[in-house]
Structure formats: structure tokens, C-alpha cells
Homo-oligomer: A and B are copies of this chain.
């Protein structure tokens, strides 16, 4: 196992700034392109990250810390953010930054008592899941969605790169 709470927080702290650097000021076509029918664009990915801050990560951490295996997580609706279409990228990234700061402040307060990172709650599909697994997943979930955004944008140039497509695994 490689999990250390301070190293996981290092990643979680960086994601809003990384995405702001990558996305703010880009031409609209970079922000609204997607990978085809029923796939997300960059704006929708950021809206999904905001939704996770509001209803997923901290509430589930709370359930592990306070209720343990007497409680099963409600399922997380991974598509609920798609109803929110009215914000531009600056507004979305500002909201994500604020939600993430709030989440991490809450997390740090909860962790001051040196909790047992192996304690569990029940996941509706997986059964018992550990606090360490949930925190690691939160960090990897961020990395997954940074990857998704760079892949979506790369695919916009799938035809434009010509024969170099053979060297660019991201386009496959």
C-alpha cells in the first residue's frame, strides 16, 4: 500500500488550479467538443467534479467515521450534473475551487484525531469499503478526470494529425 493522507491531500489540493491553468481562456470549441454521442465535454466533467464535492466524498467519509457498517452509502448519481448547463468554465472552476477548499478543510478537521484508515462502511455494490480506499479513490478520481479532459481535447485533432495518429495512443 502506498496511501499516506498528506500525499493524497497534495493531489486533491492541486486539481482546481491545474484545470484552471489548462482550461480558462480556451476557445469555445475546445470546451464544448466531446468524444461522441452520450459523452461529456470539459464543462460537463468539471460540473461532475463539483457534484462529487457536494454529495459524494465528504458525506461518505462522514458515514464511515460516524456510522461504520451499520450504514450503506446511498448510490451516487454520476449523471445528475448534466442538468446544470448554464455556467461558463470560469464560473464552474471557481465553484469547484471553493467546494474543494471547503471539502479539504472539513477533511482536515475530521482527521485531527488520527483516525483508523482501515475502518469501513458498506458500499451498495462492493460491501465493506475502507476509509483508506475511499480517500485513495477520491485522489485517483481527480486524475481520471484530468485524463478524460486531455483525451477529449486530443481527439478533436484525430484527423488533423495525419499519419502521426499511429504514435499517439491517446487517439485510439
Contacts and interface: CB of A to CB of B under 8 A. Distances in A.
A3 B140 contact: no
Interface in A106-156: 123, 126-127, 129-130, 132-134, 136-137, 139-141, 143-144, 146-147, 150-151, 153-154, 156
A130 B11 contact: no
B3 A27 contact: no
Tell me the number of copies of this protein.
2
B164 A137 contact: yes
Give the interface residue-count category, chain A: 35 or more
A132 B162 CA distance: 9
Given A21-B21, A137-B162, A144-B170, 15 more contacts: A2-B29, A2-B33, A3-B160, A7-B27, A14-B22, A14-B26, A18-B18, A18-B22, A126-B164, A129-B162, A133-B160, A136-B157, A140-B154, A140-B164, A140-B171
